[in-house]
Amino acid sequence: MRFKKRFSISGFIVLAIVGITLSAPLLSPYDPYGIDVGEPFLGPSWTHLMGTDDLGRDLFSRILYGGRITVLIAIAATIVALVIGTLWGMVAGVQRGWVDEILMRTADATMAIPQILFALVCVSAVGSSVISLPIIVGLLLSPTTARMARTAVVVELASDYVVAARATGLKKSRLIMTEVLPNIAPQLLVQLSINAAAAVMMEASLSFIGLGIQPPDASWGTLMLQGYGNLWNTNWYVFFPALVVTVTILAFNSYGERIRVSLDSRKSST
Amino acid sequence: MGRYLLRRALSSSIVLATSLILVFLSIRILPGDPVLARLGAATKVTPEALEALREEAGLDRPLLAQLFSWLSDALRGDLGVSYISQFPVTQLIGERLPVTFELTFFIIVLSCIFALILAPLSILKPGGILDRFIGTMTSIGLSIPGFVVGIIFILIFSLTLQWLPSLGFVPIKENIGQNLQLMIMPSITGALTATPYLVRYLRASMLEIKQSSFIRTAEGKGLSDSRIMFRHILPNSLVPTLTMLGLIVGYTLSGVIIIEYMFGLPGIGSLAIEGAFKRDYAIIQGVSLVIISLFILTTLCFDILCGLVDPRLRVAKDRQNEI
């Protein structure tokens, strides 16, 4: 029963995607950069599970390696968003007053800028690489994390246990680190999952318009762009990266939703 | 009401000003020189020539001076000239804005139609097969990137069935038939990404209304299910959904960036991408200003409209801001 409660298909898929893509060098049947001009645009077969691209490169291997880049960017961006957003929201929620006002109005203003547009602004200024993309995407996701963290901190600070802890003379900084932060961790986990989905979506979008990861390196977005360019030669080329991107985003979103629902039901039962 | 309007207008202006300053500073503070970007692959450029170009573009002035002159020029409708093509940015945006407006209009109309069909269907029997099917489709719809939907449409309707062209644009004034034909796929693509948000919100709102006591009274009076649905539940749940629609109109204005690009539509979205490719900061700044202003103005208009229709929302919004 306990196992049933904790087991979730979306969580399993998230783990599988992260595990498989990160171990790409072990699982990849071919060299992802290995050109075979004699075998372009092959359909799926036992030799090439997802077919080959315009240069005869094995698409399955390229998707595994591309996934490694996409997933690493998403993980790094999620960490950047989590650290900056949590700090941003916690400072606002703890300080309140004008500090809160300035920090939250800045978050509102940042959220009023459409993410893809802001990403274009940043990418055009600094260019795109495996270093700059996670930072840009992470920064863009941090205001929503900050809003969520601030609300959670404000709610926690008004709880009875915080009042009791303050009454025992516990320092505010210690109280935040040892009591409040662990208590808002589940909500941060929900945001983490939603942010990971948004990061995969943003990386894929930027790479799809040619402003993300540049060839010969490939992310899932880059593969989709190349597949889209070769749509009239083969359908499979674009189909598989599009499928893995959608499944990944869906898994992250569903996992976040599942944790949120279980948190809500736990709250209502208490 | 006057106080509410004033407060909403004031907070929107502050958000607008802050976002524009953020965009401006991001371009200026982040590494990357617009003058070098303008020169592209040109070699043998002397430091004196670089300095002259910086002076010409006004980049040698203090940051605050640049910001104020950009904002004051923008208020007069002057967004500067493109660093690359030297065309006025206002003119470039003005030429492309009608395409974006047309696409946004079609997307919003279609997503409203889809949502008005799907949400009532899903609450016919909450938790039933149809409700769960629509719920699953909504979750998938929220996770599919717009361009993946576009690719699926192109595969089916352009490549396989050969019913619709996949690329291009004909102005509505030149040939309305061709214009509509070219707009079908981008509009449905956009609508399918916007619909899930509307369906979720409208469904939740309708479900809440369905459980209220006046609906029980209507049922007790013996009104038919369809009359209860279309005469009582739907109209009452539309008001809260208006706020969501305002956000969706705003998001669609920016969400069309990639749709325009992939379907070859010459709107401001594809202008922004071209600007980003060429690192033409004047264009990126100009497009950002227009999109952000439209986004904030649209949400403001919808908020005011909701406040007018349902005065309870004014109080709720004020309380929300206080929290």
**Residue A247: pLDDT over 90:** yes
Please tell me which of the candidates B139, B144, B288 has its beta carbon nearest to residue A117. Answer: B288
Residue-range domains of chain A with CATH: 25-238 (1.10.3720.10)
Considering only A19-23, A227-231, B241-245, which range has the smallest mean pLDDT? Answer: B241-245
- Mean pLDDT score, A148-175: 87
Under the banding of pLDDT at 50, 70 and 90, the label for residue B38 is low
Q: What share of chain B is helix, strand, coil (3-state, %, to 5)?
A: 80, 0, 20
**Residue A195: pLDDT over 90:** yes
**Residue B183: pLDDT over 80:** yes
* Helix axes of A181-208 and A132-157: crossing angle, nearest 10 degrees: 150
**Residue A142: pLDDT over 60:** yes
Rounded Cα distance, A112 and B292, in Å:
7
- B75-88 confidence digits (pLDDT tens): 888 888 887 788 89
Q: Which residue has the higher pLDDT, B144 or A40?
A: B144
| Phi, psi (deg, nearest 5) at residue A53 | -95, -170
* Tokens coding B51: 């300095």
Rounded Cα distance, B284 and B276, in Å:
7
- B203-250 confidence digits (pLDDT tens): 988 888 888 888 888 888 888 888 888 888 888 888 777 777 877 887
Please, are residues A226 and A53 in contact by the beta-carbon 8 Å criterion? yes
Diameter over CA atoms, chain B: 87
* Tokens coding B283: 């264009």
Please tell me which of the candidates A125, A211, A250 has its beta carbon nearest to residue B26. Answer: A125
Q: Do A110 and B15 lie within an 8 Å CB cutoff? A: no
Residues of B in contact with A258 (CB under 8 A): none
Q: Is 0.80 surpassed by the pTM of this model?
A: yes
**Nearest CA among A142, A137, A136 for reference residue A111:** A142
CB burial readout B41-68, b (16+ within 10 A) else e: eeeeeeeeeeeebeeebebeeeeeebbe
Q: What pLDDT score does B191 carry?
A: 93
Query: B89 in contact with A at a CB cutoff of 8 Å?
Result: no
Under the banding of pLDDT at 50, 70 and 90, the label for residue A269 is low
Q: Do B32 and A250 lie within an 8 Å CB cutoff? A: no
Query: A129 in contact with B at a CB cutoff of 8 Å?
Result: no
Q: What pLDDT score does B60 carry?
A: 77
Residues of A in contact with B286 (CB under 8 A): none
Beta strand residue intervals within A56-214, DSSP E: none
Considering only A142-146, A263-267, B133-137, which range has the smallest mean pLDDT? Answer: A263-267
Q: Which residue has the higher pLDDT, A77 or A106?
A: A77
Rounded Cα distance, B245 and B111, in Å:
10
DSSP string, B222-277: T--HHHIIIIIIHHHHHHHHHHHHHHHHHHHHHHHHHHHHHTT--SHHHHHHHHHH
Query: Model ipTM?
Result: 0.81
Tokens 């929900």 sit at which residue?
A: A190
Q: What pLDDT score does A234 carry?
A: 83
Q: What pLDDT score does B319 carry?
A: 57
- B289-298 confidence digits (pLDDT tens): 999 898 888 8
Q: Do A116 and B257 lie within an 8 Å CB cutoff? A: yes
Residues of A in contact with B14 (CB under 8 A): 105, 109
Rounded Cα distance, B76 and B80, in Å:
11
The residue type found at B236 is N
